[in-house]
């Protein structure tokens, strides 16, 4: 189905030719290190010239080398099943097998669909592309994503060879200098990338000898469906150039749907599922889910697949059959996404999902084999992520990583051996039985393979019962242990059996590093144990053998149970074990030995199943290596203060000027002598001195004096990096002093805050007291404790002994005066970070000592205000503000330039205010027009005298507010001045009863937009008669202006309105309307200029035709076109009016015209003589052109009309 690009590939060949090439190539490549097949297609005749898109390459022609797959769409039923197993390339150096199997290996993309195949359009281009430097991979990515190695055989020509490389979406990262093969000139290697992100390489070989070619690459992690969906926008934002290239269906999308009815049936179902609001990814995902759900299915087997017949659109055929393979689903997905506006392209490559893993003995590591059976197709869609059109191409696997297996059939197979185990030498008989309920099982080829090594063993032909047997020689070349044998008929019909080779086995322990561990060191306690397991008969290493790590008391057979984690390990492909073992904490110090045992267990690991095989007769124990576990002696570091042990923090308690005895005992196995012990008082940040130990003991006398601070003292003794610590308490007076606050002393409850500042210090020396906790109390006017109104009560102070607190009261606090009290009650908090050792957070609560209690009241009472009890009275020139103004209670009106006096009086809870600021604001322009800071002498009242010279005409809403409280008052003031009204119509010509339009404009004073003015729309005829009753308005004829702009929406002009010249006008009649005011005729009236409008009448024709000879148009016959001409309101157009009869050829060409007139009552009957042969598809039209029947300016206001009397 798909087509390789012409600049990379030779002319397409038939499937039979491909098979012949495969058979020849298979003979040529058998000498290779592994059985995989690539093909060099060398055709007769001259080689083609290099593509002009390779103009920067060398002049020498490149021999085109092609990865030949064995089939395209529709070829499956003709393919020999053995070709499914032909290998294309293999992959090395991957991590998790399940992860690498999810990769899709891209070869080519195609943008043009022809109906029977996918091709590359002329828009597709290819350009030079850079290799990715290894150092940048290490710096930016290593070790994730992993660096993969790709390997395949190639038979090059001498000179240049051009080939496509398998790569990963979205960006091909081919590592610089990684393409390697014998006889390859690496310096001349050139990499290309096409517009679809597929890569090809130009290689120069000095010899035509077949070689193995390899290269390294990596791919980026792909975004999840959720990540794509989160950033996706509608497909409507797809850039035009992408839409033009990737929204193609032949010959157009609309025509494609019209031609391909089965496609259209499914399109219509999807149309009912997809929402107009769905983004590009959501549309594609709905289509993907639809195609992978019933009624669509995969064929049960190859014979069940019915490809599209020649000449039939393959997507439409698939939609009819509702059954197909990967290429059918991918093609249908691309066609449907394009039909719904999502740009997409078709991709050809391979899937690793069903790929086989083997151990490559040449490379010495596992490899994933990509074969013909792994051919696959998918799609890429463009997902816009920004309204500018920016976006990303996204890989869409129609089957979401789990491709269906087309090779399933109605066959099953079983396989068995004649024995469970064999000694060397012996012969094993392996029998496979092919089973089918519907098909013949006779004369079928069964392939037998050693599954773990991937090496073929033999093949056999089934008999009439489906049985096929082979003999396998069991000799010294075969390694001891289990062998998995795979018997396979076709790609979906296979099964396994196991036979075991008996014999000796040996375990060699090579090293234990380190061989000594100190359990006194910080964990983990680990050692690296290395060795291998092998078959002593043939020297071969044994993989997947489970070994046990054993710890024994040195020189004994006494095993320490559960000594290591892990306890077991499987050998790798080289038979090695190399494991970091963690020592169990329960293992005590001592002399030990490590041994590694093999107890007869192998683990069979495959991509599909893992299971153990146990052969109890095959066991071995390795040699022993020494392993010692040591432990340091514990350090004893005791500390006393006045004989009180270090863990009693509350003792001792002393008075000022008394001495404290600090003593230490130091022992590490034995008492330590002549060791320097440093003593510190951390509470006062002083070094007390150094004392040498004698027989492990050292002591120092700490003399307290006038400078020693009252309260707990954190004392610690230090030896090297080791230490111990405790406390003593100096019992002396501590004083708390509130120095500032509450500030301010008047706050609004439920929001505003106040501060308190002060100190806590030693009453004797003034030194700050560290790490105390204080309590803030609140008392009402009866000295009742109402501290619960405060936002916080307890505060922990730092080492400065000062506090600077911010508090508030809740919204339920009474609006009265309160007393603030700050108290210290003997609480010290020596938690981290105050205790830098952070071993024991300690909370001193020693309120029992009277010296450790002190409190102080705030400097002022705290006055709490209820913000909802603020009253503001407001007057304008002595007239109180009203809640509503009307014609009976008019607001104050002024001429621009008049002085206006605004008076305010503010009280809180009945008392006038003596502070804070009162402000006046012109609300509609959001401008402050006055402010005043109250003083006590104001008695809460102030008069603002405001000059209105700069005020705009019309309505002003004035608001007065005090401080930040929510209470306010408002009034309205009118400036009586002429305003200006502009008016426009959005369409100059209006057909009655048809056109919807609007009349809009602005209401201003100069450039200032006005508010609250009522305006009215009027319609006048040419004689200036008010005919506003012809207006069918969407709303009221009167609207209120807001922010200076207005718009009247008109549904239509009445059908009874005579056509002609008309005018719109907008009137302001002095009415002012806003919440709180409605007054009429209270300002100077104003009108806009006249806005002209041409109102037209529609026309229509009701008619038919006739001829003398029925059944067609014959030369020499006459055609009679007749009917009536009407106004749009259903009345006949009187008078003699011209009607034009036009004969057209169906393609817009005019054959003949004939003009006639109505008879005065609107009736016409016009004869047309058929003087020539009229072609099939002839059309008959009746037309009315107003300019042919009415004189200017009357015809300006009449609409043209036409009717089609006949169309075949």
Say what the pLDDT of residue 554 is: 94
Three-state DSSP class for residue 330: helix
Say what the pLDDT of residue 354 is: 76
Class level of CATH domain 636-730: mainly beta
Class level of CATH domain 1099-1206: mainly beta
DSSP calls for 73-97: TT-GGGS-GGGGG-EEEEEES-S-H
Which among 22, 1, 10 has a CA at the least distance from the CA of 70?
22
Percent of the chain predicted with pLDDT > 90? 67
Say what the pLDDT of residue 734 is: 92
State both tokens at 813.
């606090």
Say what the pLDDT of residue 80 is: 58
Mean pLDDT of all residues in 798-819: 91
> Rg (Cα) of the chain, in Å, rounded?
49
In which band, very low, low, confident or very high, does the pLDDT at 3 lie, cut at 50, 70 and 90? very low
Three-state DSSP class for residue 66: strand
Rounded to whole angstroms, the Cα distance separating 630 from 560 reads: 16
Domains 235-356+375-396 and 506-630 share a fold: no
- Summarize pLDDT for 1073-1126 with one digit per residue, the tens: 999 999 999 999 999 999 999 999 999 999 999 988 766 788 889 999 999 999
Mean pLDDT of all residues in 615-626: 95
Say what the pLDDT of residue 1146 is: 81
DSSP calls for 506-552: EEEEEEEESSEEETTSSSP-EEEEEEEEE-TTT--B--SEEEEEEEE
**867-975: which CATH architecture?**
Sandwich (2.60)
**CA distances for 1208 relative to 761, 1000, 1168, 1170, angstroms:** 110, 48, 18, 17
Superfamily the domain 506-630 falls into? Immunoglobulins (2.60.40.10)
Residues composing the chain = 1208
Say what the pLDDT of residue 621 is: 96
Distance of alpha carbon 541 from its chain centroid, rounded? 48
- Beta-sheet strands, E only, within 94-172: 104-110, 112-113, 118-119, 126-128, 148-154, 159-165
- Summarize pLDDT for 44-72 with one digit per residue, the tens: 222 223 333 333 333 344 555 544 443 44
In which band, very low, low, confident or very high, does the pLDDT at 2 lie, cut at 50, 70 and 90? very low
Pick the CATH number of 980-1096 from 2.60.40.10, 1.10.3720.10, 3.90.1150.200, 2.40.30.10: 2.60.40.10
Rounded to whole angstroms, the Cα distance separating 1206 from 1142 reads: 11
Say what the pLDDT of residue 342 is: 97
Three-state DSSP class for residue 868: helix
SS (H, E, C) 682-696: CCCCEEEEEEECECC
In which band, very low, low, confident or very high, does the pLDDT at 79 lie, cut at 50, 70 and 90? low
The structure's pTM equals 0.39
Q: Indicate the domain borders of the chain.
A: 15-218, 235-356+375-396, 411-426+435-501, 506-630, 636-730, 734-865, 867-975, 980-1096, 1099-1206
Bond preceding residue 390 cis, omega within 30 of 0 = no
Say what the pLDDT of residue 99 is: 85
DSSP calls for 613-650: EE-TT--EE---EEEEEE-PPPPEEEEEETTEETT-TT
**CA distances for 540 relative to 69, 481, 621, 786, angstroms:** 37, 12, 18, 89
By CB neighbour count within 10 A (0-12 exposed, 13-18 middle, 19+ buried), where does 232 fall? buried
Q: Contact, 972 vs 879, CB < 8 A?
A: no
End-to-end CA distance of the chain: give it in Å, rounded: 41
In which band, very low, low, confident or very high, does the pLDDT at 18 lie, cut at 50, 70 and 90? very low
Asked if residue 17 has pLDDT above 70, the reply is no
Fold category of 235-356+375-396 in CATH: C8orf32 fold (3.10.620)
- Summarize pLDDT for 540-569 with one digit per residue, the tens: 999 999 999 999 999 999 999 999 999 999
Find where tokens 């463009």 sit. 382
Q: Contact, 1087 vs 1001, CB < 8 A?
A: no
Say what the pLDDT of residue 763 is: 92
| CATH number given to 411-426+435-501 | 2.60.40.1930
Mean pLDDT of all residues in 897-920: 91
Query: 431-466 burial by CB neighbour count: b if 16+ within 10 A, else e?
Result: bbbbebeeeebeebebbbbbbbebeebeebebeeeb
Say what the pLDDT of residue 573 is: 85
**CA distances for 1145 relative to 1148, 1175, 1179, angstroms:** 6, 7, 6
Rounded to whole angstroms, the Cα distance separating 939 from 916 reads: 13
Rounded to whole angstroms, the Cα distance separating 790 from 775 reads: 11
State both tokens at 1173.
């042969």
Asked if residue 367 has pLDDT above 70, the reply is yes
Fold category of 734-865 in CATH: Immunoglobulin-like (2.60.40)
Say what the pLDDT of residue 44 is: 28
Q: Contact, 960 vs 946, CB < 8 A?
A: no
Say what the pLDDT of residue 98 is: 75
Say what the pLDDT of residue 350 is: 92
Orientation of helix 314-321 relative to helix 326-339, angle to 10°:
110
Instruction: Put the strands of the sheet holding 375-384 in their side by side order.
Output: 104-110, 344-351, 375-384, 391-396
Query: 157-196 burial by CB neighbour count: b if 16+ within 10 A, else e?
Result: beebbbbbbbbbbbebbbbbebbbbeebeeeebbbbbbbb
Rounded to whole angstroms, the Cα distance separating 1125 from 1185 reads: 11
Say what the pLDDT of residue 62 is: 53
Contacts of 1000 (CB under 8 A, 6+ apart): 983, 984, 986, 1045, 1046, 1047, 1048
Q: 10 Å Cβ neighbour count for 963?
A: 19
Q: What's the CA angle centered on 382, arms 377 and 387, to 5 degrees?
A: 170
Say what the pLDDT of residue 1129 is: 93
- Summarize pLDDT for 189-201 with one digit per residue, the tens: 999 998 888 899 9
Summary mean pLDDT of the chain: 87
- Summarize pLDDT for 624-635 with one digit per residue, the tens: 999 999 988 888
Which among 275, 392, 262, 279 has a CA at the least distance from the CA of 335?
262
Q: 10 Å Cβ neighbour count for 815?
A: 15
Q: 10 Å Cβ neighbour count for 1198?
A: 22
- Summarize pLDDT for 719-754 with one digit per residue, the tens: 998 988 888 999 999 999 999 999 998 888 878 899
């Amino acid at each position: 189905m798909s087509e390789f690009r012409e600049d990379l590939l030779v002319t397409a060949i038939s499937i039979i030719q491909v098979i012949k090439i495969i058979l020849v190539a298979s003979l040529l490549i058998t000498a290779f290190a592994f059985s995989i097949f690539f093909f060099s297609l060398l055709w007769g005749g001259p080689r083609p010239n290099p593509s002009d898109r390779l103009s920067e390459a060398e002049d020498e022609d490149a021999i085109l080398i092609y990865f030949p797959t064995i089939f395209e769409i529709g070829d499956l039923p003709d393919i020999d099943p053995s070709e499914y197993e032909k290998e294309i390339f293999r992959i090395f150096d991957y991590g998790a097998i399940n992860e690498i199997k999810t990769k899709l290996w891209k070869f080519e993309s195609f943008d043009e669909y022809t109906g029977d195949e996918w091709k590359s359009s002329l828009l597709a281009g290819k350009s030079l592309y850079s290799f990715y430097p290894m150092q940048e991979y290490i710096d930016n990515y290593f070790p994730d994503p992993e660096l993969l190695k790709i390997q395949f055989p190639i038979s090059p020509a001498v000179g240049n060879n051009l080939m496509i490389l398998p790569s990963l979406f979205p960006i091909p990262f081919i590592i610089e200098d990684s393409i390697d093969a014998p006889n390859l000139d690496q310096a001349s290697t050139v990499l290309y990338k096409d517009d679809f992100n597929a890569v090809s390489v130009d290689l120069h070989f000095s010899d035509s000898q077949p070689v193995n070619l390899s290269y390294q690459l990596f791919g980026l992690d792909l975004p999840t469906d959720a990540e794509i969906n989160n950033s996706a926008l509608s497909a409507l934002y797809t850039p035009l150039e992408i839409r033009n290239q990737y929204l193609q269906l032949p010959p157009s999308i609309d025509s494609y749907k019209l031609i391909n009815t089965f496609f259209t049936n499914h399109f219509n179902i999807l149309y009912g599922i997809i929402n107009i609001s769905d983004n590009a990814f959501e549309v594609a995902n709905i289509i993907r889910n639809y195609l992978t759900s019933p009624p669509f299915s995969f064929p049960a087997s190859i014979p069940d697949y019915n490809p599209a017949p020649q000449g039939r659109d393959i997507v439409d055929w698939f939609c009819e059959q509702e059954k197909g393979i990967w290429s059918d689903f991918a093609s249908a997905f691309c066609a449907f996404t394009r039909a719904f506006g999502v740009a997409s392209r078709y991709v050809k490559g391979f899937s690793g999902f069903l790929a086989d893993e083997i151990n490559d003995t040449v490379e010495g590591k596992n490899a994933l084999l990509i074969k013909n059976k792994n051919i696959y197709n998918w799609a890429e869609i463009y997902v816009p992520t920004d309204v500018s059109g920016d976006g990303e191409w996204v890989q869409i696997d129609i089957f979401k990583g789990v491709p269906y297996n087309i090779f399933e059939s109605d066959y099953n197979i079983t396989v068995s051996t004649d024995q469970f185990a064999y000694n060397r030498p012996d012969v094993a008989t392996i029998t496979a039985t092919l089973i089918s309920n519907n098909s013949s099982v006779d004369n079928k080829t069964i392939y037998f393979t050693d599954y773990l090594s991937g090496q073929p063993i033999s093949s056999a032909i089934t008999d009439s019962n489906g049985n096929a047997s082979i003999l396998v020689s069991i000799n010294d070349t075969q390694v001891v242990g289990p062998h998995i044998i795979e018997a396979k008929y076709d790609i979906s019909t296979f099964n396994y059996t196991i036979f075991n080779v008996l014999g000796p086995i040996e375990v060699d322990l090579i090293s234990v590093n380190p061989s000594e561990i100190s359990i006194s060191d910080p964990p983990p306690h680990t050692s690296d144990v290395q060795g291998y397991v092998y078959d002593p008969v043939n020297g071969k290493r044994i993989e997947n053998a489970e070994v046990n790590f054993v710890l024994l008391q040195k020189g004994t057979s006494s095993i320490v149970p559960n000594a290591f984690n892990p306890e077991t390990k499987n050998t790798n492909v080289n038979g090695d074990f190399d494991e970091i073992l963690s020592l169990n904490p329960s293992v005590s110090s001592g002399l030990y030995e490590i041994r590694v045992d093999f107890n007869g267990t192998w683990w069979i690991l495959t991509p599909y199943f893992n299971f153990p095989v146990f052969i109890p007769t095959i066991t071995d124990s390795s040699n022993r290596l020494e392993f010692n576990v040591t432990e340091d002696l514990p350090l004893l570091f005791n500390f006393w203060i006045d004989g009180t042990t270090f863990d009693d923090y509350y003792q001792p308690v002393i008075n000022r000027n008394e001495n404290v005895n600090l003593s230490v005992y130091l022992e590490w196995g034995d008492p330590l002598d002549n060791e320097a012990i440093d003593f510190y008082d951390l509470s006062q940040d002083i070094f007390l001195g150094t004392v040498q130990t004698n027989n492990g003991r050292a002591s120092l006398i700490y003399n307290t004096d006038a400078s020693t601070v009252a309260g707990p003292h954190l004392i610690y003794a230090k030896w090297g990096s080791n230490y111990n610590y405790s406390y003593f308490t100096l019992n002396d007076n501590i004083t708390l002093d509130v120095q500032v606050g509450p500030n301010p002393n008047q706050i609004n409850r439920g929001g505003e805050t106040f501060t308190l500042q002060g100190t806590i210090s030693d009453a004797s020396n003034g030194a700050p007291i560290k790490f105390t906790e204080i309590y803030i109390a609140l008392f009402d006017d009866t000295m009742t404790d109402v501290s619960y109104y405060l936002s916080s009560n307890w505060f922990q102070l730092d080492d400065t002994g000062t506090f600077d607190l911010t508090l508030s009261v809740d919204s339920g606090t009474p609006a009265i005066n309160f007393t603030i009290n700050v108290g210290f009650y003997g609480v010290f908090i020596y938690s981290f970070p105050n205790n830098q050792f952070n071993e024991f957070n300690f909370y001193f609560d020693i309120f029992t000592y009277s010296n450790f209690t002190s409190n102080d009241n705030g400097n002022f009472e705290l006055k709490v205000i209820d913000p909802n009890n603020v009253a503001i009275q407001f007057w304008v020139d002595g007239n109180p503000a009203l809640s509503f103004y009307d014609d009976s209670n008019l607001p104050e009106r002024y001429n621009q330039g008049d002085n206006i006096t605004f008076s305010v009086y503010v009280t809180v809870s009945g008392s006038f205010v003596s502070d804070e600021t009162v402000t006046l604001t012109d609300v509609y322009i959001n401008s402050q027009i006055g402010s005043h800071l109250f003083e006590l002498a104001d008695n809460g009242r102030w008069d603002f005298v405001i000059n209105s010279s700069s005020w705009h005409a019309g309505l002003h809403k004035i608001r007065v507010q005090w401080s930040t409280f929510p209470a306010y008052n408002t009034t309205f003031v009118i400036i009586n001045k002429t305003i200006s009204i502009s008016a426009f119509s959005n369409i100059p010509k209006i057909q009655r009863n048809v056109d919807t339009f609007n009349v809009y404009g602005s209401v201003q004073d100069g450039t200032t937009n006005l508010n609250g003015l009522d305006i009215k729309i009027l319609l006048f005829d040419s004689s200036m008669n008010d005919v506003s009753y012809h207006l069918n308005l969407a709303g009221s004829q009167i609207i209120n202006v807001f922010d200076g702009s207005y718009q009247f929406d008109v549904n239509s002009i009445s059908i009874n309105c005579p056509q002609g010249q008309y005018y719109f006008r907008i009137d302001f009649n002095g009415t002012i309307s806003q919440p709180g005011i409605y007054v009429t005729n209270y300002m100077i009236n104003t009108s806009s200029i006249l806005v002209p409008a041409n109102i037209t009448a529609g026309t229509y024709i009701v008619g038919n035709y006739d001829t003398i000879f029925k059944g067609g148009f014959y030369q020499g016959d006459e055609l009679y076109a007749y009917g009536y001409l009407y106004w749009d309101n259903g009345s006949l157009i009187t008078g003699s009016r011209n009607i034009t009869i036009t004969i057209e050829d169906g393609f817009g060409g005019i054959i003949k015209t004939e003009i006639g007139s109505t008879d005065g009552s609107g009736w016409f009957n016009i004869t047309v003589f058929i003087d020539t042969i009229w072609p099939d598809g002839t059309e008959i039209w009746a037309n009315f052109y107003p300019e042919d029947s009415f004189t200017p300016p009357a015809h300006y206001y009449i609409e043209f009309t036409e009717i089609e009397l006949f169309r075949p």
